């Protein structure tokens, strides 16, 4: 008998921390909308996703059995341009999570002023239990399930948790086979050999480094080894953030992955740690530092904390114990809405996710532009253009925060909502 996956939701783990991610996003949206005096009609429009698609993805497992996975794609808003947003393969995927992430993408693209709307996709599955051929079949079947939404001018996916360049190549191929010609711009985060952009893999971590550097300058903190950094998560975002911040001269005292962290108060040799993970995959076998738990890492004595793993790791329970002066949110939604006030009262500068990790989508935008133009840029051009956008966006958000006396998070939402709302007003209501 075919197993039916996704009809019964497994208990969520630490991902949600008990807070509904869509409501958590909306809590901040409502505060920002109120600050902007957003008219009630537009407020209602921006509270609703444009389209929500749920698809069944039957695939043949290697053992010959058919299994049906549930896939989602939510297009939140396309007022400013084609929808843009990643696809995650995870056991924690729910429609509410995908809706929240799609809304975050809308605000993120608007904060850094890209001509994109927001979307997100996900498949409820445990990729760690699947072979590469099974993952390929699932990626292709999911792509064909949502193909009516996709297109360079309508909805452009990218990698997210547990999806990577390899899968983006399969998405591009599946879409192109249906269209009967090669369409590189339908997806970003592709391998460089088939239309990916130089600098894309490093872009999110590089962006985190740039906004952290600007925040350090703003707080008159030294940009050298007196500034200690702790990074939670050592995947794409965490490891590159650590490497980039070490390159800036900061002292990385702790990093972690899902099994826990490593700590050295004198500073870790990040090149050595990266090489270890390249060879052994996990940090737990690294012997040249003390071991600490993920919870301890968040509460370390340091100047900069970079949560770069999961949602809702900073909550009411631990927000009061955080000692960092700056939190750079590499992950999407690492702080629960209820913890915002505690961090603000403690005078901690939070660089919010929709700004801090926007380097990734910015270089995805560069990839889309290069694909459409058929002309590719060198890495220096990519990095210089990313630097300019991240610095300008940081300053815009900081300016908004100062003018309105609000946190950087609410200011980032205000910049974003204001931009999306302006386009809605100019386009008018088609009804």
Nearest approach in angstroms of CB 360 to ligand NAD is: 3
State which residue, 236 or 370, has the beta carbon closest to ligand NAD.
Answer: 236
| Residues 288-317 close enough to bind ligand NAD by CB under 6 A | 294, 308-310
Residue 151 is a binding residue for ligand NAD (CB under 6 A): no
**What does the per-residue mask of binding to ligand NAD show for 78-117, with x meaning CB under 6 A?**
----------------------------------------
Cβ atoms 78, 106 nearer than 8 A: no
Burial class (CB in 10 A: 0-12, 13-18, 19+), 396: middle
Question: Closer CB to ligand NAD, residue 34 or residue 293?
Answer: 293
Nearer of residues 155 and 257 to ligand NAD, judged by Cβ: 257
Cβ 107 to ligand NAD shortest distance, Å: 13
CA 113 from chain centre, in angstroms, equals 16
Interface region with ligand NAD, contact rule CB under 6 A, candidates 60-68, 268-276, 326-334, 387-395: 326-334
Taking a C-beta distance cutoff of 8 angstroms, is the pair 415, 407 a contact? no
Rounded Cα gap, residues 300 and 278, in angstroms: 26
Which positions from 155 to 194 touch ligand NAD by CB under 6 A, shown as an x/- string? Answer: -----xxx--------------------------------
Where does residue 380 rank: exposed (0-12), middle (13-18), buried (19+ CB within 10 A)?
Answer: exposed
Catalytic annotation on 217?
Answer: no
Nearer to ligand NAD, 93 or 310 (CB): 310
Total chain residues near ligand NAD (CB under 6 A): 24
Specify whether the CB–CB gap between 155 and 119 falls below 8 A: yes
Binder to ligand NAD among 221, 237, 386, 406 (CB under 6 A)? 237
Which is nearer to ligand NAD, 106 or 357 (by Cβ)? 357
- Say if CB 334 and CB 350 are below 8 A apart: no
The token pair that represents 369 in the structure block = 């532009």
- Nearer to ligand NAD (CB atom), residue 148 or residue 317: 317
d(CA 384, CA 228): 26
Helices (H), 162-256: 165-179, 200-218, 236-247
Please state, in angstroms and rounded to a whole number, the distance separating the CA atoms of residues 125 and 114. 31
Tell me the closest approach of the beta carbon of residue 43 to ligand NAD, in angstroms: 27
Choosing from 174, 236, 342, 370, the residue that interacts with ligand NAD (CB under 6 A) is 236
Near ligand NAD by CB under 6 A, which window of 21-29, 70-78, 251-259, 417-425?
Answer: 251-259
Q: Binding string, 194-213, against ligand NAD, x = CB under 6 A?
A: ----------x---------
DSSP-derived pairing of the beta strands 66-77 and 51-60: antiparallel
Laid out side by side, the sheet with 260-263 consists of 290-292, 260-263, 251-257, 228-232, 304-307, 326-328, 349-351
3-state helix, strand, coil in the chain (%, to 5): 45, 20, 35
Q: Which is nearer to ligand NAD, 314 or 421 (CB)?
A: 314
Task: Choose the catalytic residue: 84, 99, 108, 120.
Answer: 120
**Alpha carbons 250 and 216: distance in angstroms, whole number:** 11
From the list 301, 333, 426, 416, the residue with the least C-alpha distance to 88 is 333
Binding mask 215-234 for ligand NAD (x = CB under 6 A): -----------------xxx
Question: Distance between CA 402 and CA 249 in Å, rounded?
Answer: 29
Which of residues 165, 235, 284, 387 is near ligand NAD by CB under 6 A?
235
Task: Give the residue numbers marked as catalytic.
Answer: 120
Binding residues for ligand NAD, per CB under 6 A?
Answer: 14, 160-162, 204, 232-238, 256-258, 294, 308-310, 330-332, 357, 360
């Amino acid at each position: 008998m075919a197993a039916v996956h996704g009809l019964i939701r497994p208990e969520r783990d630490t991902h949600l921390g008990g807070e509904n991610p869509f409501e958590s996003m909306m809590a901040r949206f409502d505060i920002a909308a109120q600050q902007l005096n957003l008219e009630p009609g537009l407020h209602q429009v921006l509270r609703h996703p444009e389209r929500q698609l749920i698809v069944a993805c039957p695939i043949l497992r290697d053992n010959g059995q058919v299994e049906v996975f549930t896939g989602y794609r939510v297009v939140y808003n396309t007022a400013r341009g084609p929808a843009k947003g990643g696809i995650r393969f995870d056991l924690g995927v729910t429609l509410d999570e995908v809706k929240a992430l799609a809304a975050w993408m809308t605000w993120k693209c608007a904060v850094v002023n890209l001509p994109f709307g927001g979307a997100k996709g996900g498949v409820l599955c445990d990729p760690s239990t699947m072979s590469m051929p099974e993952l390929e079949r699932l990626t292709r079947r999911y792509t064909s399930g949502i193909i009516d939404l996709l297109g360079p001018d309508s909805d452009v996916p990218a990698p997210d948790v547990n999806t990577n360049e390899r899968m983006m190549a399969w998405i591009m191929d599946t879409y192109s086979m249906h269209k009967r010609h090669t369409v590189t711009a339908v997806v970003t985060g592709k391998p460089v050999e088939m239309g990916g952009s130089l600098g894309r893999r490093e872009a999110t971590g590089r962006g985190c480094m740039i906004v952290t550097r600007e925040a350090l300058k703003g707080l008159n903190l030294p940009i050298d080894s007196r500034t200690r950094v702790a990074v939670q998560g050592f995947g794409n975002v965490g490891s590159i953030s650590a490497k980039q911040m070490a390159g800036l001269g900061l002292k990385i005292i702790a990093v972690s992955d899902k099994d826990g962290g490593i700590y050295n108060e004198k500073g870790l040799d990040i090149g050595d740690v990266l090489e270890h993970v390249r060879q052994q995959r996990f940090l737990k076998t690294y012997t040249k530092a003390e071991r600490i738990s993920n919870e301890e890492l968040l509460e370390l004595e340091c100047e900069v904390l970079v949560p770069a793993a999961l949602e809702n790791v900073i909550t009411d329970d631990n927000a009061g114990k955080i000692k960092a002066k700056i939190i750079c949110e590499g992950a999407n939604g690492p702080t629960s809405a209820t913890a915002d006030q505690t961090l603000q009262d403690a005078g901690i500068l939070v660089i919010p996710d929709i700004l801090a990790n926007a380097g990734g989508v910015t270089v995805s935008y560069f990839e889309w532009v290069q694909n459409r133009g058929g002309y590719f840029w060198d890495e220096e051009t990519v990095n210089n253009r990313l630097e300019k956008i991240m610095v300008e966006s940081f300053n815009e958000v900081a300016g908004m925060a100062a003018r309105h006396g609000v946190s950087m998070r609410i200011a980032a939402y205000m910049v974003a909502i204001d931009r999306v709302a302006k386009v809605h007003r100019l386009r008018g209501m088609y009804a």
